[in-house]
Amino acid sequence: MTLKVYPNLLLLFLFNSVWTQTVRQVYDELDPEHWSHYAFECPKECFCPPSFPNALYCDNKGLKEIPTIPARIWHLYLQNNLIETISEKSFVNATHLRWINLNKNKITNKGIESGVLNKLKKLLYLFLEDNELEEVPAPLPGSLEQLRLARNKISRIPEGVFSNLENLTMLDLHQNSLLDSALQSYTFQGLSNLMQLNIAKNSLKKMPVSIPANTLQLFLDNNSIEVIPENYFSTIPKVTFLRLNYNKLSDDGIPPNGFNVSSILDLQLSHNQLTKIPPINAHLEHLHLDHNRIKSVNGTQICPVSIDIAEDYGFYGNTPRLRYLRLDGNEIQPPIPLDIMICFRLLQAVVI
């Protein structure tokens, strides 16, 4: 084997190392005073790219504590460390923070000094995935837009913790330890702009109550949900993406018009216990029903509009919108019944 060295590449490497060296010199040798008009302090454990003076990179450093954050910082990267506490002294001057990434650390609820998060009045994104939280931390700043708490040990949501989060659009609680009893009618109160709610991989047996009315994406995969209550979706009239893969839904658990909801465009019911295709709406575009116990499909019965009329005269713009249908992992023998093709004329793929 021969090794080719391209002159251009070599040049690039050289420039890179020169650049790195210059940056290092700035921190190691220059007195911060020389940057007076810029106040370019940089905690010694971290990296402060000169071209992004508002960002502070302290990720993957084996840190046990959060350094003192300079006032100019908007974006703070602390992921993948051994941090156990969030204390006020680190943040006294950090009033401009927009984004904190603390994923993959060892933060417990006790380790969060009371009121420290709430003081970050401009914070938009707070990432605390893969930590050791047992409840949703509180109080949180009202400015938050995204709160990511996946893969903790959260079993409790303190009452009122979301009540001031009018701008929160995304709440991710997947892979925690939530039981039905943790989700009460008041739990999500205040989340008037929430669009995405992820409670997948918890221990729910029931559909959560009082989901915020503007929710577009609701993810409940990998729970043990058996029943969809009657008219469940009437309180979330915008729900568009609904994922219930890996639950315990059977035919009996689904009311006659359970999923016949015109807002839903993407419905995922893989790995449940259905033996029939539930009634669907003509607006539905993607339907995942793989790995259930469906034995046969009657296109005439599942067609959301009258198939007889369609056969003779077409749908007059009423064509069912289904484009993608997964039915594999059931007990259905190919071929795909002709009446499915007659009903769903926009179908692009059927997996059987």
Ligand X SMILES: *[C@@H]1O[C@H](CO)[C@@H](O)[C@H](O)[C@H]1NC(C)=O
Stretch that binds ligand X, among 17-25, 107-115, 256-264, 322-330 (CB under 6 A): 256-264
Q: Which is nearer to ligand X, 21 or 68 (CB)?
A: 68
Q: What are the angstrom distances between the C-alpha of 21 and each of 17, 32, 71, 287?
A: 6, 17, 25, 55
Minimum Å gap between C-beta 256 and ligand X is 6
With binding defined as CB under 6 A, does residue 111 bind ligand X? no
Residue type at 320 in one-letter notation: P
Minimum Å gap between C-beta 94 and ligand X is 9
User: Which member of 286, 300, 321, 352 binds ligand X (CB under 6 A)?
Assistant: 300
With binding defined as CB under 6 A, does residue 318 bind ligand X? no
Stretch that binds ligand X, among 57-65, 206-214, 230-238, 297-305 (CB under 6 A): 297-305
C-alpha 311/C-alpha 128 separation (Å) is 54
With binding defined as CB under 6 A, does residue 260 bind ligand X? yes
Stretch that binds ligand X, among 148-156, 203-211, 298-306, 342-350 (CB under 6 A): 298-306
With binding defined as CB under 6 A, does residue 221 bind ligand X? yes
- Could you tell me which residues come within 8 angstroms of residue 253 by beta carbon, excluding any fewer than 6 positions away? 226, 227, 228
Asked if 231 contacts 207 with a C-beta cutoff of 8 angstroms, the reply is: no
Q: Which long-range contacts (CB under 8 A, 24 or more apart) does 212-216 make?
A: 212/188, 212/236, 213/237, 213/238, 214/238, 215/239, 216/240, 216/241
**The residue to which tokens 């220059």 are assigned:** 30
Q: Single out the residue of 167, 125, 118 nearest to residue 146, CA to CA.
A: 125
Minimum Å gap between C-beta 174 and ligand X is 7
The structure tokens listed for 301 are: 């019965």
Minimum Å gap between C-beta 57 and ligand X is 19
Helices then strands, each counted (H, E), the chain = 5, 13
C-alpha 99/C-alpha 89 separation (Å) is 18
Q: What are the angstrom distances between the C-alpha of 129 and each of 57, 85, 152, 172?
A: 18, 15, 7, 9
Minimum Å gap between C-beta 302 and ligand X is 8
With binding defined as CB under 6 A, does residue 301 bind ligand X? yes
Q: What are the angstrom distances between the C-alpha of 163 and each of 176, 187, 194, 235?
A: 21, 9, 12, 19
Q: Which of residues 137-156 bind ligand X (CB under 6 A)?
A: 142-143
User: Which member of 79, 131, 176, 222 binds ligand X (CB under 6 A)?
Assistant: 222
With binding defined as CB under 6 A, does residue 200 bind ligand X? yes
With binding defined as CB under 6 A, does residue 246 bind ligand X? yes
Q: Which is nearer to ligand X, 184 or 214 (CB)?
A: 214
Assess whether the previous peptide bond of 279 is cis (omega < 30° from 0). Answer: no
With binding defined as CB under 6 A, does residue 107 bind ligand X? no
With binding defined as CB under 6 A, does residue 279 bind ligand X? yes
Q: Which is nearer to ligand X, 127 or 219 (CB)?
A: 219
Binding mask 6-45 for ligand X (x = CB under 6 A): ----------------------------------------
Which residue's Cβ lies closest to ligand X? Answer: 142
C-alpha 249/C-alpha 207 separation (Å) is 11
Binding site for ligand X (CB under 6 A): 68, 92-93, 142-143, 166-167, 200-201, 221-222, 246, 257, 260, 262, 279, 281, 298, 300-301
